[in-house]
Structure formats: structure tokens, C-alpha cells
Amino acid sequence: MPTLEDCRALDAQDPLRALRDQFLIPEGVLYLDGNSLGVLPKAAPARIAEVVAREWGEGLIRSWNTASWFDLPQRLGDKVARLIGAAPGEVVCTDSTSVNLYKVLFAALSQQKDSGRKLVVSERSNFPTDLYIAESLCRERGFTLKLIEAGELQGPDSVLTDEVAVLMLTHVNYRTGAMHDMKAVTAAAHAAGALTVWDLAHSAGAVPVALNESNADYAIGCGYKYLNGGPGAPAFAWVHTRHAGKFEQPLSGWWGHAAPFEFTPHYRPAPGVARYLCGTQPVIALAGLECGLDTVLAAESFNGANGAMAALRAKSLALTDLFIQLVEERCAGQGLSLVTPREHARRGSQVCLSRDEGAYAIVQALIARGVIGDYRAGDSQMPDILRFGFTPLYLGFEDVWNSVEHLVQVLETGEWRRAEFNRKNAVT
Ligand SMILES: *Cc1c(COP(=O)(O)O)cnc(C)c1O
């Protein structure tokens, strides 16, 4: 079994260790929730203050041109592209993940409207907002949302039939941390005549993604999780170039117009992904997102042409492997089960554990000790989950050791049974 000394030795040999200096992390906090809200980049407070005081305060409206506010969604989109296997000009940063999903799913459904196909397929365990958006769009556009269990995509009884218009999946499942093989699933969907919509909320900045190589159709993702863009940061949208210039944008606002400052009375969509913009962009929030993106792109310097994600992935897997091994050895007999796949090719950058009793309270007891993970409620078909995200940018091997040490103590002392840890908060 690895010891604390072994973990320290791994940190000492870790070439990515210096990346942690890019962040402001409170003293005494072990942050295992970067999959929900990334930590604050050191550069962000000064950069945001500069945008407010100088660009807004002094530049005023001139800053749309002089401070390059106007092309922020595209410029940041090009940075995101480097992390998700897309090319420059294919991504915009804008709106929220939920809103972007509405836009891309609408576009995919429009492309299939004369195909006779009536089904949108997604997973029952997908993140609720994705299902809610799909539900209302299907109702509005005359499609039916079909929810499947994980694993129903493969095999001779695959749900991918000639009735399927769109396969809408989240690449890394938010509850379980299970990851799809994007290339194989996309190929299977295309063979069945369906288009794919991928949600990269738990992938962008967390695992390598190869959108173009996978031949995917549409993708969206989140700015405030592994991209460290700040609470409610703008999200992103990508579309394959074969659909660019063809797809419809249902929120046809003036920022997606081919010439917004001609002020013509009729909508004419901008070529390519720029039409995914709707209204005036949140400049201050975009400035925060750029600071976050730069913290991830800083890993490029460790892996040259292979990009930031290849370097980060190796460390992420080492961290999650270590966490799994330590939990299984040191918490044996404590009722915890591993939910996340062991197989590297099927694992995102998080580890989820389930327990029949006390999952919420155990997480609360850990938070009181400064070990911040989170809890996701189960139902009749899914267990309650303790969820731990591992961001290789700012977590080390000793952090993993210490997190497990706290978990061992919380379980062995029964500390989690205290009343204060069993009262539910509004945000879990
Ligand atoms: C986090 C997450 C979202 C968040 O959507 P918002 O519009 O930012 O609230 C959406 N989908 C998935 C799969 C997520 O994990």
C-alpha cells in the first residue's frame, strides 16, 4: 500500500506541480470539487478589476474596439478549441450551457426535420438540465425524447435505429464519472443516420477530447468547472464545419447577425459558429473566463505539440488511481462502493463512491474538515453518491493521501452521525 512518504515522493517528481501557483486556494482547504466550480486563478482579481476600472471606467463605449471586447467570444473560443480537439474559428464562448444546448439541439433537429426520424435519445442519468431542455424542445418541435440506461447503445439490440434523429449525450457522466468513447459512439450514431450532440461539461479541461477526429456534429460545454472561469462563467458551443453555414440558430439575436451594425430590419445569420451569439456579451465574465482558460493552457508548455490535456490526463489518472486504491484499502469494511469505472478509457477526472447510508452527512463532515467534495442524491434506480473531482492543475498526491485520511477518520469515529451534518442545505 502506498504510504504518505510515497505520495510526497510522487509530488517531488511531478513536473506539473508548479501549475498550482497559478491559483488562490484558501489555507487548509483540500478542494475536490473543481468539477462543480473551479478555484480562483491568481490573475483573475486584477484582470477583472482592470476591465472594470480602465476598460469600462475610462474607455467606456470605445472599449468595444480599443480593448477588443467585440471579438472576445471568438478569441476565447479559439483557446477552448485547443482543449477539445477543434480548430480556430469553430468555437464561441457565450451564454450558459443550458442555453447553448437549446441552440445546438434545435439546429440538429432542424437538420433532421424532413428525415421522418422522430426520436431524440439520451441517458436517464444525464444531467437534469440537459433532459429538461430536450424535453421542451421535443414537445415544441414534434419529437419524442427516449431515455436509455447506460450500456444500451452497444450490441445487437442497440437503441440506435432508423427512428433516431439525434443522440444527445454527456461525454463524462456528472454522477458516475463514466466516460463514453466519443469516436466509436459517434460512428455508431452516424451509421444509424443520427446526428450527435455532446455535452462536454465534465470533459473540457478534464480529459482529452477530439471533436474533429471523432467526427462529432455539435458540442457544448461549461466555463466554470474544470476551466476555472468563475461562478456562472460563459459556456461554449462548437459545430463541425460540415454543418457551419447551414445550421439554424433559434435565438436569432443581433450579435449573431452577419452585419450587426448595419441595423437592417431582417435577420441574416453570420457565417459559421458566430451565429451562435445572441445578444450583447458579458465582457466582465468573459475576462474572468479567459484567466481560467489560461491556467489550463499553461499545461501546454509541459507537452508541446500534444497539447495541455495530454499532460494533465496522465496526472489525473494517477491521482484517481491513487484515491481509489487508498479508499479501498484504508476504508475497507466501511460500506463504500466504487461507482466510477476502473478502466482508464472509461473514467473521467472524478471518483464517485456510493454508500447505503449517510452519503450526505459524510460529505458534510468532510467539508467541516476542509475537504470539499459534494453529494448527489440517488433515487429508486441510482444510489446516493459521494463525489470527488480531481483537478491535476492544483491537486497533488499528498492532497489525495490527506483527503483519504480525513475520510477514514470521519467513518471510523462515526463523526458523520452528528446532527449538524445531517441537516440539508439548499445547494448540495
Ligand atoms: C454543470 C452542467 C450543466 C450546467 O448548466 P448551466 O446552464 O451552466 O447551469 C449542464 N449540463 C451538464 C452535463 C453539466 O454537468
If residue 103 lies in a helix (H) or strand (E), which one and from where to where? Answer: helix 97-111
% of residues, the chain, pLDDT over 70: 99
397-413 and 359-368 helices, crossing angle to 10°: 120
Task: Look at residue 139 and tell me whether its pLDDT is greater than 70.
Answer: yes
**Residue of the nearest CA to atom 2 in ligand 1?**
201
CA atoms within 13 A of residue 131's CA, in its CB half-sphere:
10
CA atoms within 13 A of residue 81's CA, in its CB half-sphere:
18
Asked if the structure places residue 40 within a domain, the reply is: no
Ligand 1: which atom is nearest the Cα of residue 232?
8
The average pLDDT across 301-323 equals 88
* pLDDT band per the 50, 70, 90 thresholds, residue 6: very high
**CA–CA distances in Å: residue 96 to residues 22, 134, 234, 271:** 25, 15, 6, 22
Same domain, 389 and 352: yes
Same domain, 143 and 278: yes
Same domain, 146 and 64: yes
Q: Which residue has the higher pLDDT, 311 or 218?
A: 218
Asked if the structure places residue 37 within a domain, the reply is: no
Tell which one of 98, 202, 203 to mutate to probe ligand 1, the residue whose CB is within 8 A of the most ligand atoms: 98
CA distance 393 to 206: 10
pLDDT attached to residue 157 = 78
pLDDT attached to residue 424 = 83
pLDDT attached to residue 74 = 98
Asked if the structure places residue 302 within a domain, the reply is: no
Q: What is the pLDDT of residues 171-219, one digit of tens each?
A: 999 999 999 999 999 999 999 999 999 999 999 999 999 999 999 999 9
pLDDT attached to residue 311 = 87
Same domain, 263 and 138: yes
122 - beta bridge partners? 147
Burial of residue 152, with CB atoms counted within 10 A of its CB: 0-12 exposed, 13-18 middle, 19 or more buried: middle
* pLDDT band per the 50, 70, 90 thresholds, residue 273: very high
Please work out whether the CB of residue 376 comes within 6 Å of at least one atom of ligand 1: no
Q: Which residues are catalytic?
A: 127, 199, 224-225, 387
Asked if the structure places residue 426 within a domain, the reply is: no
Same domain, 156 and 83: yes
* Per-chain mean pLDDT for the chain: 95
307-330 and 283-297 helices, crossing angle to 10°: 80
Task: Look at residue 102 and tell me whether its pLDDT is greater than 90.
Answer: yes
Residues in the chain: 428
Task: Look at residue 305 and tell me whether its pLDDT is greater than 70.
Answer: no
* pLDDT band per the 50, 70, 90 thresholds, residue 248: confident
Å from CA of 199 to ligand 1 middle: 8
pLDDT attached to residue 304 = 62
Ligand 1: which atom is nearest the Cα of residue 174?
15
Same domain, 266 and 348: no
Identify the CATH number of the domain in which residue 75 sits.
Answer: 3.40.640.10
Q: What is the pLDDT of residues 114-132, one digit of tens each?
A: 999 999 999 999 999 999 9
Same domain, 16 and 57: no
Task: Look at residue 16 and tell me whether its pLDDT is greater than 90.
Answer: yes
pLDDT attached to residue 426 = 77
Task: Look at residue 3 and tell me whether its pLDDT is greater than 70.
Answer: yes
Task: Look at residue 143 and tell me whether its pLDDT is greater than 90.
Answer: yes
Same domain, 283 and 316: no
The average pLDDT across 104-113 equals 96
Asked if the structure places residue 36 within a domain, the reply is: no
% of residues, the chain, pLDDT over 90: 90
- Domain, as residue range, for 24: 4-31+309-421
Asked if the structure places residue 303 within a domain, the reply is: no
Asked if the structure places residue 399 within a domain, the reply is: yes
Å from CA of 322 to ligand 1 middle: 28
Domain final position from 242, 271, 297: 297
Query: CB–CB of 27/215 below 8 Å?
Result: no
Task: Look at residue 4 and tell me whether its pLDDT is greater than 80.
Answer: yes
Ligand 1: which atom is nearest the Cα of residue 97?
7
pLDDT attached to residue 244 = 86
Cα dihedral 214→230→128→152 (10° resolution): 20
Domain final position from 243, 275, 297: 297
CA distance 402 to 376: 23
Please work out whether the CB of residue 129 comes within 6 Å of at least one atom of ligand 1: yes
Measured in degrees and rounded to the nearest 5, phi and psi for residue 93 equal -100, 120
Counting the structural domains of the chain, the total is: 2
Same domain, 287 and 315: no
Identify the CATH number of the domain in which residue 366 sits.
Answer: 3.90.1150.10
Burial of residue 318, with CB atoms counted within 10 A of its CB: 0-12 exposed, 13-18 middle, 19 or more buried: middle
Query: CB–CB of 31/372 below 8 Å?
Result: yes
Same domain, 96 and 136: yes
Task: Look at residue 352 and tell me whether its pLDDT is greater than 90.
Answer: yes
Same domain, 247 and 326: no
Same domain, 144 and 266: yes
**CA–CA distances in Å: residue 292 to residues 100, 208, 236:** 20, 17, 14
If residue 238 lies in a helix (H) or strand (E), which one and from where to where? Answer: strand 235-239
* pLDDT band per the 50, 70, 90 thresholds, residue 400: very high
Amino acid at 373: G
Asked if the structure places residue 38 within a domain, the reply is: no
**CA–CA distances in Å: residue 155 to residues 128, 151, 300:** 26, 9, 38
Task: Look at residue 156 and tell me whether its pLDDT is greater than 80.
Answer: no
Please work out whether the CB of residue 202 comes within 6 Å of at least one atom of ligand 1: yes
Q: Residues 307, 224, 327, CA angle at the centre, nearest 5°?
A: 80
Domain final position from 277, 297, 317: 297
